[in-house]
Amino acid sequence: MFLSEDGFLVGPASATGGLILGGTCALRGAISPNTGARLTQFAHVHVGAGAGAFFVPGWELPDIRFLYSWKCNIHEGSFSYRYLGNSIEVVEYIKGTGDHEGFPYENYPDSFQEVRRELQRISEGDQQLIRQLNSPDCDPDLEYDNPRANELSTPTHQFGGVPYLVDPELSEKECILCDKEMLLVAAIGNDSYSNEYGFSGDDFVQILYWACPKCHVVSALNFYD
């Protein structure tokens, strides 16, 4: 279930912008139960109700942090965490440390430099193109004939709206706690805006994030084009 009709892309740098890329989540419990290492924060978004704000109906907290781990088995399946006051509790994950030496790339950072940007409302034209690209009836030539469609068919960060989906058939997720269908709130692509290799080291990797406002649960799953 999509969050809204329109959403936001990464806008220009801004000292007061509602979007932080990278940074560190210092909240208690924001660690991998497999390794004890702090979870990687890809983004931290202010949630609000004003004009131009990222609004998530029923979400009573001031923000959502988009957390993940490539350095243990968390990335091998569904990963969910919930907000408990000022802490995080991991409620769904694949157990095991695995062998992730050099994965997803050599010297993967413990955290990414914090970069603050504005949330920029996606244009109607872009959102229309993304819907076309996600459609099973999409003309396969669209992304070759239309340069903007080509750009939009590489996973990028989008908050709200209908993001480009690497696998449009797998855009739904049920909450691990209440079984209700969750809201697809964000897609995260590779660009860290602070280092050369990015969040996953691969421009065709996408991580989707869903939220259950009732349970304050956030879920993540990665896809590869």
Interacting residues with Zn ion (CB under 5 A): 175, 177-178, 212, 214-215
Shortest CB 219 distance to Zn ion, Å? 10
**Based on CB atoms, which residue is closest to Zn ion, 37 or 178?**
178
**Based on CB atoms, which residue is closest to Zn ion, 142 or 177?**
177
Rounded CA gap, 118 and 8, in Å? 9
Phi–psi pair at 133, nearest 5 degrees: -60, -35
Q: Identify the three-state secondary structure at position 150.
A: helix
* Residue 56 contacts residue 211 (beta carbons within 8 Å): yes
* Residue 37 contacts residue 31 (beta carbons within 8 Å): yes
**Based on CB atoms, which residue is closest to Zn ion, 13 or 178?**
178
Q: Identify the three-state secondary structure at position 19.
A: strand
Shortest CB 217 distance to Zn ion, Å? 5
**Based on CB atoms, which residue is closest to Zn ion, 60 or 139?**
60
Shortest CB 81 distance to Zn ion, Å? 12
Q: What b/e sequence results for 166-205 when a residue is b if at least 16 CB atoms lie within 10 Å of its CB, and e otherwise?
A: beeeebebebbeeeeebbbbbbbbbbbbeeeebbbebeeb
**Based on CB atoms, which residue is closest to Zn ion, 5 or 60?**
60
**Based on CB atoms, which residue is closest to Zn ion, 27 or 175?**
175
Structure tokens at 184: 């697809």
* Residue 31 contacts residue 25 (beta carbons within 8 Å): no
